[in-house]
A and B are shown apart, each in its own frame.
Chain A
Amino acid sequence: MPETLRKAALNPIHRLLGAKMVDFGGWDMPVEYSGLIAEHMAVRTGVGLFDVSHMGDIQFRGQGSFDAVQHISMNDASRLQVGQAQYSAMLYPQGTFVDDVIVHKFSDNDYLFVINAGTREKDYNWVRQNARQFDCHVSDYSDYYTQLAIQGPKAEATLQKLTNVDLRAIKFYWFAWGTVCGLPNTLIARTGYTGEDGFEIYIPSDAATSERVWNEVLEAGREFDIKPCGLGARNTLRLEAALSLYGHEISEKINVFEAGLDRFCKLEKGTFIGSEALKQVQAAGGPERKLVGLEVVERGIARDGYRVLDGQGQPIGNVASGSPAPFLKKNIVLAFVPRAYAEPGTEVAVEIRSNPVKAKVVPLPFYKKPKV
């Protein structure tokens, strides 16, 4: 293993649990423990625990924070109340992605961006460079936090045992501060990347605290058969829910309309980085290609990078993410295709190891959590 791989505080715990480790964006992270399918199912039907400490945290503080956030991210932070979070993204001037982010509003002058692991340095540099003109202070707190995601229909019941905060009062994409496992002022956000209900908590990143909280969560979830879950299940869960992954559905080569994320992009809020280019795309009648969901109809598993073909066998696009879907028990795909092929029901094919295999366009997301 190259010396350069970064290790989060819980690395020894993952190895102790027998996880298979993988290099993810420069981080030595667990890909699976007991088995990807069992972990995936635990999150859909019970509860799973993920170490997502590789995610980055950038905080904006000061009078100019709100203006900086509005300038740097595409969603409209004026719609946020204190204690609320929103899905958003940072864009290049051409309307393509620097990264997607979750914006948390701590106060009128205090915001937190949670960003991806593989893009941490790039994101932080981008934020610093573009926040310079505003009266605010930008800090990278990524290494200060161990971030744990507790996900699944039993996530609330699990975490409730460990905190004095009434978790029922925290709505989806809202957050609160409270004592968790005896740690005061812990950020508890009802967010996640699984398409399921759940929480993300941010605790101090020293090994002793991280390990203690990890173990207490596992203990609290034991009656619900909680499972530690790796990045493998995290990927299949997010794919079933059709949540974007940087480098696949979003990148510096993909614009907001192509990625189908325009509902999180508020062009009417005023000028921000990327807005002018996107208005031009809109004025030109929209993007030429679009992200669609495909279900493979015949036998075969389509994987990242495979070609999408039309009825005549001509290449029309590429698979952004493709995998068996453990809960849906189908082979699903997110792919970029020309707009003419974007309508649900359209029949296409995916080239799987030189063979065209039938697939059809289906509405997104593939999976929606049941209403309670």
Chain B
Amino acid sequence: MRKYLARGVAAGAIALLALTACSERSGSSGGDSADSGKGFPADALIGVALPAKTSENWVLAGDLFVNGLKEAGFQSDVQYAGASSTVSDQQNQIQAMVTKGAKVIVIGATDASQLSTQVKAAKDAGAYVIAYDRLIKNTPDVDYYVAYDNFKVGQLQGQALLDGMKAKKPNGPYTIELFSGSPDDNNSAVFFDGAMSVLKPEIDKGTVVVGSGQTDIKQTAIEGWKAENAQRRMDSLLTSTYSTGKTLDGVLSPNDTLARAIITSVKGAGKPLPVVTGQDSEVESVKSIMAGEQYSTINKDTRNLVKQTIQMIKDLQQGKEPEVNDTTSYNNGVKVVPAYLLPPQIVTKANAAEAYANDPILAPLTK
């Protein structure tokens, strides 16, 4: 019993000691540092919150952030959301970064609409918030957006699909299927709209036919960008629409993970491979393109995107206004977020060697 008592007293003493610490209200966290033009210490903490490690790109981005921020002299805290409870993990991680006093928080959102409370907390604590790759919606508290031009990505995908099908079979009509990304990702609709801006005129003319008739983004969406979901949808499409001898000429796929799942599904059904688009330049997909299976991907070099983000952080640190090149297109529902958009590049077997010449991992694959 004496042991318990001793412990109790010790705990009480520690609590009392801690009591003497003063209230945070008198502290510096009055949100004053949120005014631009003041900058912050060169070795400040930078938080980076990324989604779950479901695509190679996010893993690469995380590594690049760790190294890039270190080189630039910042301290970094790079976190991924868990694979199973992504949204609440990310909320808690951002909150922890705020508590640790991060000056800039870079967020690749898991669910672009469910972060406004955390983003507000960051803003109130005087941190800048940069939305990385995915725009954070319904909040006035996001400062900048940095991404590849996603509408352009969609347009390139749509064009590549048409080109690829023409190369295989000079005359239409072509039968295609449409896939789009996760409905909770703001980009999914942008990719899809971009692609449809190219495909819609052809569909209206009748030169391109959507075999299953599923053209609504609600029908084409793949929950969570998950390969298994894409494969499942493709399996059912093949059974419902293409089991009676109709040929599938092309599939619009928003990214590489889904493209490979679609190809797996078609192979499994023993059908001839259609032209399949992609995006992200994932290793497996580049291999697949070189092997003549997947038709195209998009090169959005993650290095450049991370480099641009770190450049923004450096500007903010020095109290400068970071460079942006689009101040009109990205309305998040509350405000138009100033954005810096990088141009994407379409890659097929023809130009792969040239496109990946500077990439240490992908370049050897294209030889």
A joins B in a complex: no
